[in-house]
Structure 1
Amino acid sequence: MVKHHQERNDNVVAQNKKARHDYSIEETYEAGIVLTGTEIKSIRDKRVNLRDGFAQIRNGEAWLMNVHISLYDQGNQFNHDPLRNRKLLLHKKELRKLSGELSNKGITLVPLKMYIKNGYAKVLLGVAQGKHEYDKRETIKRREQNRQIERVMKHY
C-alpha cells in the first residue's frame, strides 16, 4: 500500500531525484520538521540539499540526518549549523510502524522532497529498499523504451 500526499509543485523547495534512482520506494510519509528561525528562512530561499540525507528513529523519535540547509545570509551570530540533526514530527502510530519497517534488512528512510505547506516546512519521507546495479540499469532501459514509444506515438 503506497500513500500519496498531494501538494502543489510550486511549493517544492528541494527534491532528491537520486533517491528514486538508487532506491525503490515502498511507501511515503509526510513529516513536519523542528527548525530554527534562520533555517526556515534558508528553506524559503530554496537553499537545501537532500542528496545525502536519511532519517532514523531513535528513542521513539524520528530524526532527519545529513540534510544540508545553507546558512542564512543575514543570520549573524544566531545562524544554525548547516548539517545539524533535525527532529521530525510524525504521529506515534506512524513512528511505531516505521520503526518496525526499519528493523528489516536493507530498508532505509530517505527524504524525497521538502516543501512548504500552509506556511510550515514539510519533508516527504520514503520507505526505501536499495536497488542493485542491474535494477538501476533495468529502470533506465524501461524509461528509454517508454520515451521511444511516446516519440513514435506522437507522430500518429
Structure 2
Amino acid sequence: MARPKPETFDKHKTVAENRRARFDYAVEDKFEAGLALQGTEVKALRAGEATIADSYAEIRDGQAWLINANIPEYSHGNRLNHEPKRPRKLLLHAREIERLLGAVERKGMTLIPLSIYFNKTGRAKVELGLAKGRQSQDKRQYIKDRDWKRDKARILREKG
C-alpha cells in the first residue's frame, strides 16, 4: 500500500514563485514533480536565478514537460552552458501523469507551475497546480474575499 503524501511539500529553499498564478487561476490540486536538469541549470537555480511567470506544463507522449520556464545561463558555465528556455522534463509517476492528462482533457483544466524549490535533500522540485482559469468577475470576487480576510484579521487582532 502506498504511503500517504503530506499536505504541504518540504520546501527548504524557494528559488522562483509564480504569485500571479494564484490570482489568474483557481488552483484545485497540487502536485510535486522533480526536474530533469543539466549541470549548469542546477548551479543557476542555486544562485536563485529563475522565472516561471509565463511558463506552463503540458503532457506529450505520456511524459510531462515544463514549457517556457527561464533559467538563465550560469555566469561561469563557459561553453558548457545550457539553453535558457528549453523544455524540461518533469518527473512524475505514470499514475499521476494519467490523472493530470484526464483532468486537462476532460475538464479543461491547466497545469501551471506555482514554485520551484529545493527540498531538504537538495533536489530541485516544481510545485504544479491543476487549475481552472478565472474570469474577470471571479477575480473581483477573489479580491473582495482577500481584502475581507485581511480586515477581519486586523479587527480580531485589535479587539483581542
TM-score with structure 1 setting the length: 0.94
Find the residue that maps to 2:84 and give its secondary structure.
coil
Shift of 1:4: 3.2
Looking at structure 1, the residues matched to 125 and 60 of structure 2 have their Cα atoms a distance apart, in angstroms, of 20
Unmatched 5+ stretches in structure 2: 1-5
Q: In structure 1, what is the equivalent of residue 94 of structure 2?
A: 92
Looking at structure 2, the residues matched to 105 and 66 of structure 1 have their Cα atoms a distance apart, in angstroms, of 23
**Amino acid in the other structure paired with 1:42:** A
1:123 aligns with 2:126: yes
Cα contact 1:13–1:113 (8 A) shared by 2: yes
Looking at structure 2, the residues matched to 139 and 112 of structure 1 have their Cα atoms a distance apart, in angstroms, of 18
Find the residue that maps to 2:112 and give its secondary structure.
strand
Looking at structure 2, the residues matched to 40 and 51 of structure 1 have their Cα atoms a distance apart, in angstroms, of 19
Shift of 1:105: 4.9
**Amino acid in the other structure paired with 1:135:** D
Looking at structure 2, the residues matched to 98 and 105 of structure 1 have their Cα atoms a distance apart, in angstroms, of 10
Cα contact 1:5–1:30 (8 A) shared by 2: no
Give matches, 1:103-142, under 5 Å: 103-117=105-119, 118-142=121-145
User: What is the percentage of aligned positions where both structures have the same residue?
Assistant: 43
Shift of 1:23: 0.2
Looking at structure 2, the residues matched to 101 and 147 of structure 1 have their Cα atoms a distance apart, in angstroms, of 33
Unmatched 5+ stretches in structure 1: none
Query: What's the Cα RMSD here?
Result: 1.2
1:153 aligns with 2:156: yes
The ranges of structure 1 where at least 4 consecutive aligned residues each deviate by more than 2 angstroms after the TM superposition are 3-6
TM-score with structure 2 setting the length: 0.91
Q: Quick check: which one's strand share is greater?
A: 1
Find the residue that maps to 2:66 and give its secondary structure.
strand
Q: What does the per-residue CA deviation read over 1:63-102, in whole Å, with 9 as the maximum and x for residues that have no partner?
A: 0000000110001111111100000100011011111111
Q: What does the per-residue CA deviation read over 1:20-58, in whole Å, with 9 as the maximum and x for residues that have no partner?
A: 000001101110111000001011111010100100000
Shift of 1:111: 0.2
Cα contact 1:71–1:82 (8 A) shared by 2: yes
Shift of 1:11: 1.1
Q: In structure 2, what is the equivalent of residue 41 of structure 1?
A: 43
Shift of 1:6: 2.4
**Amino acid in the other structure paired with 1:121:** A
Paired residues, number? 153
- Summarize the Cα distance change of 1:6–1:95 in structure 2 as closer, same or farther, 3 Å threshold: same
Cα contact 1:107–1:128 (8 A) shared by 2: yes
